Structures are given as structure tokens and as C-alpha cells.
């Protein structure tokens, strides 16, 4: 059967002056930036979830985006969806994809049938990976859509749901390892609460810690070398989600002894819902040593929910990538387009335009971020601002002096410290000069 993208050629780099809407103006995959190619820096990833499962439905209306596999379950529909997916990867010339288990094939009537379905479609995906050279950035299990998970998966009050979720993750991790997935993601969409009136917070957090430790133990037992990632989100679909943001997850990891085992998959829209900028979450995760991968998208600042739109802000994206570059890059991670076309964008070509725009934006943002690194003025200002801590006195304050020593030292001085300007306005002007 002909793919829904069958008439489209592979998108190529044509340069900033092109007027071809299906060409890259900035993404030249082999261009070397700070010692690595754009392809190596950005590791673009198309996600199955939004690209091939989302159907345009919302709480007020029926699906609007109809594909040949829409409304169908089973392996035939899954194979047809895989054909279209890998054809889109060809059109976009991207190196990676990502999936939930239920994205690539429907759930079976029993656990055993679900395992069989996923194993069967994994054979198809593996063959297509071999044929195309496209790799799996990460896999994950959908532990939020089925009614059994309405009160959570790892945090469910019913231990049988915990067990079912654990068995599901075990198998999905097996499939991810089998397909060479660079990472495995855990997103706790229903790991939270709707009301405290029926919730034992301490028990639920301990259950989540136990669940994650089981995953990490199994990773090491099987020799899986990929990275385990948690994706923070503060709310939606729950009122309060336990993996609220970077700082919250780090505290959770420390409590359960996992801070050296698990990193974060950070999403721009989720950061916004938590009251943070994307660059805040990236910079903090980098400072804490848990930066893993990114979901690049955007939210609408006038709307209080997760709109998952494709990124289109150069300043926001450039600043995010600046902190990625400062951290040394994403390692096993990449830039995953966890974004969906709009309800009225019903043509297959709309999906291509969306990804082309997102890819080009990130490529241009990479060039801006690299320019900021090479220029060095922003980094030098930060270094100069904290220079006092590199003096002998600063080092002693940070390490060897007791509180009594510090008090005696301050009492023996004739004058106190003098305020120094943070120069925020200058730095904001400097930032604008890079665009």
C-alpha cells in the first residue's frame, strides 16, 4: 500500500535564501559546529505518539485527523503505521525515533497477547531500522491510558496494578534493549493525586521509589547500557504529579539512592506548566548532573494546559541549547519532537511542514548558541561575578572555616562588603545582539 507520504521527496538543505517550504534553510546535517556536525549535536527524533496516534480529538469534539490505520487495532494496522512512520523519517532525513509500546501496536485482550503483539511489531521495527539506518532514541511504556491506571501505576493503591505495570515495563525495556534504544523513559502521568482526602503520600512515594529501583536493578542485570530517564511534569492529567520538576525529581532520586542511576528527559511545555523556563530546567539538571535528553516543543503562555506545539521561538530555543552546549551536550539523548499538529491540520503534509519548521528552528538556534559560546562574553561575566570565591579567602569560606572562624574574621574587619551591580540590563542587551 502506498504511504501517506509517498509523493514527497526527502527534504534537503538549500540554504537561508530558499523559498522552498519543504527544504531546510538552516539544518545542514554535515556542517561542523564546535567540533561536531549538526546531526551529532541535535540528534533529531520523531515521536510515534503525536505523529501517528494523535487524531485531533479534544474534550469538545471527535477526531479530525484520519489515517489509513485510524480506528483499527491489531498487527495489520501496526505494520501500516510503521510503513508510514519510516517513510516520514525518510522524508525528514532524521536519525532517530521514539515510541510508547501502545503507539506502535494496540494492547491485547490479555497481558500475554500484549507481549506477543509488541514482540511481533518489534521484529518489523528492527528490520526497518536495519534497512534505513534510523535508530531508536528511547522506548517507554504507556502506563496512563488504560482504565487500570486511573489511580496510577507505580503509585496505585492496588498492588496488582503495581505488579501489572512492573511486568509491562520489564517487557518494554526488553524490547527497547533489543532494538538498540539509547534510553528508556518513565513518565508518571498518573503518578500523583486528585485529592489528598484518599491519598497516602508517604506510601505512594515509597512505591514509586521501589518501582524505579526495580527498573534500575533489571537494567544492570540484563546488561542494558542505555540511560534510564524520568520526564518531569507538574500536573495533567493528575492535579499534582510527583515528578513535578527538576528539583523535585532530584530530591526524589536522592531519597531513594538513584541520583547516579537516573537522568531527566526535560520538556519545554512541562517546564512552563511548572512555572519555569526551559533553560532553567536544563541549567539546573546540568548543575545536578542529571541532564539526559530533551522534548522540544512549546506551550501557549495564555493557556494553562499542555498544548504540545512545535517550537517556533528562536530566542527561547537558542538559550536552551546554549545551556546544553555549556553542559557538554546530551550524550545518549537527543531532541525529540514531542509535539502535535493542530486539530485543523488534517493533511499528512502538515506533519512534514511542522517537523521541517522545528528542525530548521533548532538548527538556527544551535548556530546562535554556538556563537554565544565562541564569543564568551556572557560566560566571562558569570565567571567574573563569582571570582571572589576563587581567592584564598573565598576558598577558605567554602571549605575549611567554621562558623566561629568566619564570625571572628568578620568582626576583625573595619568595613563591610560593598554591593556590586548584577548588570542584568547589559546582559539582556548582549543576549539580543546574538540574534
pLDDT one-digit tens code per residue, 86-119 = 999 999 999 999 999 999 999 999 999 999 999 9
Domain boundary among 375, 392, 407: 375
Q: Is the pLDDT of residue 373 over 90?
A: yes
CATH number of domain containing 364: 3.20.20.150
Residue 357: inside a domain, yes or no? yes
Consult the annotation and say whether 270 binds a ligand.
yes
Which residue has 530517564 as its cell numbers? 229
Q: Which one of the listed residues 28, 83, 87, 103 is annotated catalytic?
A: 103
| CA gap 264, 255 in Å, rounded | 16
| CA gap 31, 27 in Å, rounded | 8
- Residue 99: Cβ within 10 Å count: 30
Consult the annotation and say whether 306 binds a ligand.
yes
Percent helix, strand and coil across the chain, each rounded to 5? 50, 10, 40
- Terminal Cα distance for the chain, rounded: 46
Residue 176: inside a domain, yes or no? yes
Digit-coded pLDDT (tens) for 374-393: 999 999 999 999 999 999 99
Number of domains into which the chain is organized: 2
Q: Is the pLDDT of residue 435 over 70?
A: yes
- Residue 326: Cβ within 10 Å count: 17
Mark whether 355 and 386 lie in a shared domain.
no
The rounded mean pLDDT for the chain is 98
Is residue 100 annotated as a catalytic residue, yes or no? yes
Tell how far CA 204 is from the center of its chain.
24
Helix/strand/coil for 146:
coil
Residue 117: inside a domain, yes or no? yes
pLDDT at position 170, please?
Answer: 99
Residue 23: inside a domain, yes or no? no
Q: Is the pLDDT of residue 433 over 70?
A: yes
The residues, any chain, with a CB within 8 Å of residue 181's CB and separated by 6 or more, are: 136, 137, 138, 139, 226
Consult the annotation and say whether 295 binds a ligand.
yes
pLDDT at position 1, please?
Answer: 57
Mark whether 348 and 408 lie in a shared domain.
no
Mark whether 422 and 370 lie in a shared domain.
no
Helix/strand/coil for 294:
strand
| CA gap 188, 230 in Å, rounded | 8
Look up the domain containing 148 and give its range. Answer: 32-375
CA-closest candidate to residue 47, choices 306, 307, 338, 311:
338
Q: Is the pLDDT of residue 27 over 70?
A: yes
Which residue has 518494554 as its cell numbers? 172
Q: Is the pLDDT of residue 405 over 80?
A: yes
Consult the annotation and say whether 384 binds a ligand.
no
Mark whether 347 and 385 lie in a shared domain.
no
Read off the pLDDT of each residue in 327-340 and give the average, rounded to a whole number. Answer: 98
Residue 1: inside a domain, yes or no? no
Looking at the chain, the whole-number percentage of residues with pLDDT higher than 70 is 100
Angle between helices 111-132 and 159-178 (to 10 degrees): 20
Mark whether 275 and 366 lie in a shared domain.
yes
pLDDT at position 414, please?
Answer: 87
The answer to whether the beta carbons of residues 140 and 292 sit under 8 Å apart is: no
Domain boundary among 375, 391, 416: 375
Digit-coded pLDDT (tens) for 161-198: 999 999 999 999 999 999 999 999 999 999 999 999 99
The answer to whether the beta carbons of residues 186 and 215 sit under 8 Å apart is: yes
CA-closest candidate to residue 171, choices 137, 132, 141:
141
Mark whether 253 and 308 lie in a shared domain.
yes
Domain boundary among 375, 401, 422: 375
Residue 326, H or E segment: helix 314-326
Residue 366: inside a domain, yes or no? yes
pLDDT at position 409, please?
Answer: 95
Residue 17: inside a domain, yes or no? no
CA-closest candidate to residue 78, choices 131, 46, 114:
114
Mark whether 350 and 203 lie in a shared domain.
yes
Q: Which one of the listed residues 28, 50, 83, 100 is annotated catalytic?
A: 100
β partners of residue 298? 309
Digit-coded pLDDT (tens) for 268-292: 999 999 999 999 999 999 999 999 9
pLDDT at position 6, please?
Answer: 82
What angle (nearest 5°) sits at the alpha carbon of residue 216, between those of residues 171 and 327?
115
Read off the pLDDT of each residue in 10-36 and give the average, rounded to a whole number. Answer: 99
The answer to whether the beta carbons of residues 50 and 337 sit under 8 Å apart is: yes
The answer to whether the beta carbons of residues 106 and 117 sit under 8 Å apart is: yes
Residue 25: inside a domain, yes or no? no
Consult the annotation and say whether 240 binds a ligand.
no
Mark whether 342 and 423 lie in a shared domain.
no
What pTM, to 2 d.p., does this model score? 0.97
| CA gap 166, 213 in Å, rounded | 11
Mark whether 363 and 413 lie in a shared domain.
no
Q: Is the pLDDT of residue 394 over 70?
A: yes
β partners of residue 266? 294
Q: Is the pLDDT of residue 17 over 70?
A: yes
Consult the annotation and say whether 191 binds a ligand.
no
Mark whether 313 and 349 lie in a shared domain.
yes
Mark whether 295 and 362 lie in a shared domain.
yes
Consult the annotation and say whether 243 binds a ligand.
no
Per-residue pLDDT band at 74 (split at 50, 70, 90) = very high
Per-residue pLDDT band at 48 (split at 50, 70, 90) = very high
Read off the pLDDT of each residue in 48-60 and give the average, rounded to a whole number. Answer: 96
| CA gap 247, 412 in Å, rounded | 39
pLDDT at position 353, please?
Answer: 99
The answer to whether the beta carbons of residues 133 and 178 sit under 8 Å apart is: no
CA-closest candidate to residue 184, choices 115, 103, 285, 261:
261
pLDDT at position 3, please?
Answer: 83
The answer to whether the beta carbons of residues 297 and 267 sit under 8 Å apart is: yes
The secondary structure of residue 26, as a DSSP letter, is: S
| CA gap 165, 144 in Å, rounded | 10
pLDDT at position 290, please?
Answer: 99
Digit-coded pLDDT (tens) for 117-126: 999 999 999 9
Mark whether 336 and 389 lie in a shared domain.
no
Q: Is the pLDDT of residue 2 over 80?
A: no
Q: Is the pLDDT of residue 44 over 90?
A: yes
Per-residue pLDDT band at 84 (split at 50, 70, 90) = very high
Q: Is the pLDDT of residue 370 over 80?
A: yes
Q: Is the pLDDT of residue 337 over 80?
A: yes
| CA gap 419, 416 in Å, rounded | 10
Strands (E), 212-367: 227-230, 240-241, 262-267, 291-295, 335-337
- Residue 10: Cβ within 10 Å count: 10
Amino acid at each position: 500500500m502506498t504511504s501517506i507520504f509517498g509523493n514527497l521527496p526527502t527534504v534537503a538543505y538549500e540554504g537561508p535564501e530558499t523559498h522552498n517550504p519543504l527544504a531546510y534553510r538552516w539544518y545542514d546535517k554535515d556542517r561542523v559546529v564546535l567540533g561536531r556536525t549538526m546531526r551529532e549535536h541535535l540528534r533529531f527524533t520523531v515521536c510515534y505518539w503525536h505523529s501517528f496516534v494523535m487524531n485531533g480529538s479534544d474534550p469538545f469534539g471527535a477526531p479530525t485527523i484520519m489515517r489509513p490505520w485510524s480506528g483499527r487495532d491489531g498487527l495489520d494496522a501496526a505494520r501500516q503505521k510503521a510503513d508510514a512512520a519510516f517513510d516520514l523519517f525518510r522524508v525528514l532525513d532524521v536519525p532517530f525515533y521514539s515510541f510508547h509500546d501502545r503507539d506502535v501496536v494496540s494492547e491485547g485482550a490479555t497481558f500475554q497477547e500484549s507481549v506477543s503483539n509488541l514482540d511481533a511489531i518489534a521484529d518489523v521495527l528492527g528490520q526497518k531500522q536495519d534497512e534505513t539506518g534510523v535508530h531508536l532514541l528511547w522506548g517507554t511504556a504507556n502506563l496512563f491510558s488504560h482504565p487500570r491506571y486511573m489511580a496510577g501505576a507505580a503509585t496505585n493503591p492496588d498492588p496488582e496494578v503495581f505488579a501489572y505495570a512492573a511486568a509491562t515495563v520489564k517487557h518494554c525495556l526488553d524490547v527497547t534493549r533489543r532494538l538498540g534504544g539509547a534510553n528508556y523513559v518513565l513518565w508518571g502521568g498518573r503518578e500523583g493525586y486528585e485529592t489528598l482526602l484518599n491519598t497516602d503520600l508517604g506510601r505512594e512515594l515509597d512505591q514509586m521509589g521501589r518501582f524505579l529501583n526495580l527498573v534500575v536493578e533489571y537494567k544492570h542485570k540484563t546488561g542494558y547500557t542505555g540511560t534510564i530517564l524520568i520526564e518531569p511534569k507538574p500536573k495533567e492529567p493528575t492535579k499534582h504529579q510527583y515528578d513535578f520538576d527538576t528539583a523535585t525529581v532530584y530530591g526524589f532520586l536522592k531519597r531513594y539512592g538513584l541520583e547516579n542511576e537516573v537522568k531527566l528527559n526535560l520538556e519545554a511545555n512541562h517546564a512552563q506548566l511548572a512555572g519555569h523556563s526551559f533553560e532553567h530546567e536544563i541549567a539546573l539538571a546540568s548543575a545536578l548532573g542529571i541532564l539526559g535528553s530533551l522534548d522540544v516543543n512549546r506551550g501557549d503562555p495564555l493557556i494553562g494546559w499542555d498544548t504540545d506545539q512545535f517550537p517556533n521561538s528562536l530566542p527561547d530555543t537558542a538559550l536552551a541549547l546554549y545551556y546544553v552546549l555549556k553542559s557538554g551536550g546530551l550524550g545518549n539523548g537527543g531532541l525529540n519532537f514531542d509535539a502535535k499538529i493542530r486539530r485543523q491540520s488534517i493533511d499528512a503534509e502538515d506533519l512534514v511542514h511542522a517537523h521541517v519548521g522545528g528542525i530548521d528552528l533548532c538548527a538556527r538556534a544551535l548556530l546562535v548558541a554556538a556563537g554565544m559560546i565562541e564569543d564568551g562574553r556572557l560566560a566571562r561575566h558569570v565567571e567574573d561575578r563569582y571570582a571572589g570565591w576563587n581567592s584564598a579567602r573565598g576558598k577558605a569560606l567554602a571549605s575549611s572555616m567554621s562558623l566561629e572562624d568566619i564570625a571572628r574574621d568578620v568582626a576583625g574587619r573595619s568595613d563591610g562588603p560593598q554591593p556590586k551591580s548584577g548588570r542584568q540590563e547589559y546582559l539582556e542587551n548582549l543576549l539580543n545582539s546574538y540574534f
